[in-house]
Amino acid sequence: MTSMSRQLAQWVVQLKYTDLPPAVVDRAKGVSLQFMSSVLLGSITKPGRDAVEMICREERGVTQGATILVNGATATKGGAAFANSEMAFAGGKWDTYKMLMHPGTSVLPAVLAAAEETHATGQAMITAIAAGYEVAERLAEEVIPTLMARGFHASPVFGIFAAAVAAGKLMHLDLEQMNSAIALCVSMAGGNLEGARSGGRALREGVAVRNAMLAVALARQGHVGGETVLEGEAGFYHAYIGNNKGLLTHSFEGATRMSFAQITAGLGQRWVFLDTLYRVYSISGYNIAHIDVTAALCNAHEIQYRDVERIEAVVNWLETQYPSPAFPTRREDTIHKAGSTAYHLAYAVVERGFPLLREWAPQTASPDDPPAVLDLMQRVTITPSHNMPLFGPKITIYTKDGRSYSAQGTGREFIWDYEELVRRMRGIAPGLPMSAAQYDRIIEACRTLDQAPRADMLVGLMQC
């Protein structure tokens, strides 16, 4: 049988812009804007500045490579991609897939670095983005909870595949080179939970994308990565989920087995990429549903804070034990403090939303927290369930007059077209290190990316 990596590589190499459905093109434009917006916000944070300063110091004198966004310095492709990924991560405006992956922080740094070298068109960039997301999300789709229960972090582990496929597509890797690039990623994939659990700061997508650029460079040079490195007896899945039979120890909705054949089935017909959600609040991703679904429920029934007796929310069980039930750092069903799910539910009732410019700090209070929020969050009950969809809580608000009002999220409320994303993201403009007019030019450039003769024009627009 043809190996899994070769099946994926063949699809990627043959993929053309004209093969992409309109919804995929629209999503590629949207994740590009999401990434650019997060980089801008992250560039003015300490973690973002630290990453840029380190790469500028370590790679001083590089004249050929790629550009560090906002800063404008030239670094190696891997160095620039690392800094750009770290700024995006610090900005907190990530896309999210299956709660625990944020592919944009890997894919976009890689494609921008590759686009500068190849002078790729906007259509080529869109095609590469779609390929990177699709391959990584298919590889991850069913195994994320099991992988997390073994101490790995899914986002950097699969982010390296996303970045390597996307960059390799723009760099015109042939079938053998693409197969090797995917295979080489297996040797360099990584991401562990213990550092963050023990007082450290995790190395995540920035390292993944830097390693991805190395994998692509090695594959271009002729380094052969192997054939059955994903599904083989000693391969990726054996190492990361404990077996190469598709047996699962944990899952979002109770599955105990997955089919490896499903990973490559229907490539180009069933687009997993379209299940990627936008996340406009700089908070733990599952809490976006508690904000927006609850706010919509309050608006529909004109419920005010003063009317509310208590709130109940039934949620997917994995959303209550982040990042994994095997190694939970917090239990959302037992805590009632700033940054918790109870807090965000209360915030939605009181304020009908959440501040877009709140810096990424999911478990901290703010001097701006309304007293009503801190009061109401003590009257919130979170119930974990194995039957609820991800990001699809059932919210019930009980009012003081004895009535109750319920709403069930679908988990797809945050799958928007480009124009809705723009409407939601414009609220960050006052906090950006550039004028609103310049941000509008970035919005328009992403909107018309399919018409751009040079995709790397986005790099120039990001200089402040």
Q: How far apart are CA 38 and CA 58, in angstroms?
A: 24
Are the CB atoms for 315 and 285 separated by under 8 Å? no
> What structural domains and CATH numbers belong to the chain?
4-279+419-461 (1.10.4100.10), 287-408 (3.30.1330.120)
Please write the tens of the pLDDT for every residue from 276-292.
999 999 999 999 999 99
CA distance 234 to 450: 42
pLDDT digits (tens, 9 = 90+) for 396-419: 999 999 999 999 999 999 999 999
pLDDT at 367: 82
Q: With beta carbons less than 8 A apart as the criterion, state whether 126 and 163 touch.
A: no
Contacts of 270 (CB under 8 A, 6+ apart): none
State the amino acid at position 47 in one-letter form: P
* 219 torsion bin: left (phi>0), alpha (psi -120 to 50), beta (else): alpha
Both tokens assigned to 133? 């997301």
**3-class SS at 315?**
strand
Structure tokens at 232: 């083989």
Collect all residues with Cβ–Cβ distance below 8 Å to 389 and sequence separation of at least 6. Answer: 253, 316, 409, 410, 411
Give strand pairing partners of 384: 315
Radius of gyration of the chain (CA): 22
Can you tell me whether residue 314 is helix, strand or coil? strand
The answer to whether 182 touches 9, Cβ cutoff 8 Å, is yes
Residues in the chain: 464
Residue 19: the pLDDT is 98
pLDDT in tens, the chain (464 residues): 899 999 999 999 999 999 999 999 999 999 999 999 999 999 999 999 999 999 999 999 999 999 999 999 999 999 999 999 999 999 999 999 999 999 999 999 999 999 999 999 999 999 999 999 999 999 999 999 999 999 999 999 999 999 999 999 999 999 999 999 999 999 999 999 999 889 898 889 999 999 999 999 999 999 999 999 999 999 999 999 999 999 999 998 888 999 999 999 999 999 999 999 999 999 999 999 999 999 999 999 999 999 999 999 999 999 999 899 999 988 999 999 999 999 999 999 999 999 999 887 666 678 889 999 999 999 999 999 999 999 999 999 999 999 999 999 999 999 999 999 999 999 999 999 999 999 999 999 999 999 999 999 999 999 98
Return the SS3 of 32.
helix
